[in-house]
Each structure stands twice: as C-alpha cells, then as structure tokens.
C-alpha cells in the first residue's frame, strides 16, 4: 500500500492525555496535519485488561487508516505498553509509541533513586519491566500507581482540593525514598505540572516523553520519506468516541470536535 506523504498523522489516546504531546509535535513538524482521536467512550485504559486494550487500539487504527493516516502515534503509555507490538505486526503504516522515560531519568539521577508515576496497566506491562531492566540496572525505581488521577483530569477538576490531597499521597512516599527525578508515565499527568511543582522540592526533576516522541516522529517520517511537502502551516482535527467529550474542557471555545453521531468509531 502506497502511503500519501501529504496525508495526516493520526494521534490517539484514551482521552485528553495525548493533547500534551501536540505542542512538541507542532513545534518540530509545523507543516504536518494531525487528526487527534480521544477514546472517551472507553476511558480510562489503565484498569482494562490487555485484550480489551489491544482490541480498542486496533479499532481506532482501522478508523485512522481508512481515513488515510500516514503514521500513527499511540499517545498513551498504557496502550503502547500493551498493544504497540501487535499494531506493528498487523499494519503497514509506521507507529510511534510512548513509554515512561526511564532511560533519561536514570541518566539524570544523582541520588540513583527515581520515581515513576503511572497507571496500573503501564506498570504491570512486560514492556515497562523490560525497559526498567535495560536502562535502570543501577538505579532504584519507585513505582507508584496513580489511581484516580486520570478521572480528575478528564473531568477538568484540576483545581479540586481532593486532587491535591490524592497527588500528595502518591508523591510523599517517593520523596521519603530520596528520589531526585520523577517520571510521568502517563500523558495525562503533564496536566498536573502546576500541582507537582508545588509538591516537589527544587532538586527533583520532572521527566516526560513529549520531546522524545516529537523527535522520533520526525526521524521516522524522514526515514520513510513521509514528510509533508506543503509549505503552509498544518492543521489539527479532533474526533471523540463519545457524544460528550472531555476534549471540550481543554480546547479553545468553538473548536470543532466530531462526535460519535457524525463520525463513529
């Protein structure tokens, strides 16, 4: 199948988490068009089993390929760790995955103790275990499941005092183990940066994967001769699998989001 290099890049997540990748992607790929899929109807992925996650990722991938996607970014840590190998085996378009930034965190850490805040689906995956074993041999990795955080973020309740209390309950035990680097192992968690900066001492660095994903996307486009030849600035379109999408809480007013009734997945 010949891929049209002037087609769009598909980006999907269980909800709004993948939006945190778009600024880095647009910065390095200003002439590319993007189609963002928010799978609100099946969010969150973190508590679902592997089979359910893989099936959902295949459904969204089928939809994006049918529309003409030239490359697909799995903008969800849980989806990547559970489904990326299957997707790459079953489809011909290139895929970019996202996983916790263990490697750069281990390199940056001076205390040799790093914290990883992620979903249960990510932390229990074989890919996470493999990455940790490969890149964090000499580093203590303190894993913390961020139960409930995605739900607060998706609802737009970022100023809820209960969210601050919950987040503090996850961060304090890691600080007691002398972490000096915190890995955000879920794209949703980038929306918690203001709260995290209040809770963390200045010595603790926060690491996410957005810049690495953007750079890898550029590399894969170049490798496959898929960079857009357009000179004009690219655009972003949005689709949700639910009639009431959490995207509306995070996008500028009057942004068009295609809903289930008009663009079913």
76 labelled catalytic? yes
186 labelled catalytic? yes
Q: Cβ distance 7 to 69 under 8 Å?
A: yes
pLDDT at res. 111:
95
- pLDDT averaged over the chain? 92
Q: How far apart are CA 192 and CA 182, in angstroms?
A: 13
Same domain, 80 and 15: yes
Confidence bin at 37 (pLDDT 50/70/90): very high
User: Which listed residue (64, 76, 145, 236) is catalytic?
Assistant: 76
Same domain, 247 and 193: no
Domain count of the chain? 2
Same domain, 31 and 90: yes
Within a domain: 107 = yes
Q: Compute the average pLDDT of residues 90-96.
A: 97
User: Which listed residue (184, 186, 221, 259) is catalytic?
Assistant: 186
Same domain, 152 and 201: yes
Nearest to 39 by CA among 71, 10, 66, 65: 10
Torsion 72-73-78-82 (CA) sign: positive
Residue 260 has pLDDT above 70, yes or no: no
- Put simply, whether the predicted model's pTM sits higher than 0.75 gets the answer yes
> pLDDT higher for 156 or 161?
161
Q: Compute the average pLDDT of residues 12-34.
A: 95
Within a domain: 201 = yes
Residue ending a domain, among 169, 192, 208, is: 208
- Integer angstrom CA distances of residue 240 from 4, 26, 64, 132: 24, 21, 13, 33
Within a domain: 70 = yes
Which 3 state secondary structure label does DSSP give 73?
Answer: strand
> pLDDT higher for 99 or 80?
80
Q: Which domain holds residue 143?
A: 102-208
Within a domain: 149 = yes
> pLDDT higher for 229 or 1?
229
Within a domain: 4 = no
pLDDT at res. 168:
97
Within a domain: 265 = no
Of the given ranges (121-125, 173-177, 187-191, 251-255), which has the lowest mean pLDDT?
Answer: 251-255
Beta carbons within 8 Å of 227's beta carbon, 6+ residues apart: 5, 32, 221
Within a domain: 52 = yes
The residues pairing with 113 across neighbouring beta strands, listed in sequence order, are 140
Q: Compute the average pLDDT of residues 66-79.
A: 95
Residue 265 has pLDDT above 70, yes or no: no
Same domain, 50 and 177: no
The residues pairing with 236 across neighbouring beta strands, listed in sequence order, are 34
Same domain, 221 and 128: no
Same domain, 140 and 89: no
Count Cβ atoms within 10 A of the Cβ of residue 195 and give its class: 0-12 exposed, 13-18 middle, 19 or more buried. middle
Q: Compute the average pLDDT of residues 85-107.
A: 94
Same domain, 108 and 76: no
Q: Compute the average pLDDT of residues 221-237.
A: 94
Same domain, 204 and 109: yes
Within a domain: 195 = yes
CATH code for the domain in which residue 107 is found:
3.40.50.1860
Same domain, 117 and 215: no
pLDDT at res. 258:
82
pLDDT digits (tens, 9 = 90+) for 106-123: 999 999 999 999 998 889
Residue 227 has pLDDT above 90, yes or no: yes
pLDDT at res. 181:
97
What is the residue-wise DSSP string for 40-56? GGG---TTS-HHHHHHH
Say how far residue 71 (Cα) sits from the centre of its chain: 16
Same domain, 59 and 122: no
Q: Cβ distance 91 to 23 under 8 Å?
A: no
What is the residue-wise DSSP string for 76-106? -HHHHHHHHHHHHHH-SS-EE-----HHHHH
Q: How far apart are CA 79 and CA 59, in angstroms?
A: 13
Q: Compute the average pLDDT of residues 178-201.
A: 95
Confidence bin at 256 (pLDDT 50/70/90): confident
Edge-first strand order for the sheet with 205-207 is 140-145, 113-118, 181-185, 205-207
pLDDT at res. 125:
86
Q: Compute the average pLDDT of residues 138-163.
A: 93
Same domain, 71 and 157: no
């Amino acid at each position: 199948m010949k891929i049209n290099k002037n087609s769009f890049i598909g980006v999907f997540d269980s909800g709004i988490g993948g939006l945190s990748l778009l600024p880095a992607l647009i910065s390095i790929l200003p002439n590319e068009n993007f189609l963002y899929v928010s799978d609100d109807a099946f969010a969150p992925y973190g508590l679902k089993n592997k089979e359910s996650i893989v099936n959902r990722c295949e459904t969204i991938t089928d939809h994006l390929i049918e529309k003409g996607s030239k490359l697909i970014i799995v903008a969800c840590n849980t989806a990547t760790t559970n489904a990326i190998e299957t997707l790459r085996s079953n489809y011909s378009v290139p895929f970019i995955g996202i996983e916790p930034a263990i490697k750069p965190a281990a390199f940056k850490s001076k205390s040799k103790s790093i914290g990883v805040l992620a979903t249960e689906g990510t932390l229990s995956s074989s890919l996470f275990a493999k990455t940790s074993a490969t890149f964090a041999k000499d580093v203590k990795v303190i894993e913390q499941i961020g139960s409930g955080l995605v739900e607060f973020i998706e609802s737009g309740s970022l100023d809820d005092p209960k969210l601050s209390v919950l987040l503090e309950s996850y961060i304090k035990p890691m600080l007691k183990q002398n972490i000096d680097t915190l890995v955000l192992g879920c794209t949703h968690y980038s929306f918690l940066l203001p709260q995290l900066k209040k809770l963390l001492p200045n010595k603790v660095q926060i690491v996410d994967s957005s810049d690495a994903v953007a750079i890898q996307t550029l590399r894969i486009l170049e490798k496959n001769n898929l960079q857009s030849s357009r000179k004009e600035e690219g655009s972003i379109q949005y689709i949700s699998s639910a009639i009431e999408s959490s995207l509306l809480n995070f996008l500028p007013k009057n942004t068009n989001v295609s809903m289930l009734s008009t663009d079913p997945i």
